[in-house]
Amino acid sequence: MKLKVKGYFWGCISSATFGLIPLFALPLMRKGISHDSLLCYRFACASFLIALFMLFKKESFSVSRRELIPLAILGTLYGLSAQYLFVSYDYLGVGTASTILFLYPVFVAILMGVFFREKISIITMVSILISFLGVSLLYKSESGITLNPLGIGTILLSALCYAIYIVAVNKSRIQLMSGYKLTLYVMSFSAVFFLIKTQMATGLQPLPDTRSLIDLTLLALPTTAISCVAMIFAVQYVGSTVTAILGALEPLVAVGVGIWAFNEAITKNLILGISLIIIAVLTIILSGYFSQKLRSQRLL
- Tell whether 31 is covered by a domain: no
Over residues 111-120, the mean pLDDT reads 86
User: What per-residue confidence (pLDDT) applies to 292?
Assistant: 65
Q: What pLDDT digit, counting tens, does each position of 200-249 carry?
A: 988 999 999 999 999 999 999 999 999 999 998 888 888 877 888 888 89
pLDDT at position 181 is 94
45 is a domain residue: yes
Q: How far is CA 177 from the centre of its chain?
A: 20
pTM of the predicted protein model: 0.91
Instruction: Supply the pLDDT for residue 137.
Output: 83
Q: What is the mean pLDDT of the chain?
A: 89
Structural domains counted in the chain: 1
Is 81 a member of any domain?
yes
Classify residue 257: in a domain, yes or no: yes
pLDDT digits (tens, 9 = 90+) for 150-199: 999 999 999 999 999 999 998 888 888 888 999 999 999 999 999 999 99
Please tell me the predicted confidence (pLDDT) of residue 136: 83
pLDDT tens by residue, 242-279: 888 888 899 999 999 999 999 888 888 888 998 999 99
Residue 105 has pLDDT above 80, yes or no: yes
**Banded model confidence at residue 286, pLDDT cuts 50, 70, 90:** confident
Any domain includes 101: yes
Domain enclosing residue 182, as ranges: 2-26+39-54+65-299
Confidence (pLDDT) at 121? 81
Query: What mean pLDDT do residues 24-45 have?
Result: 95
Is residue 59 domain-resident?
A: no
Residue 140 has pLDDT above 70, yes or no: no
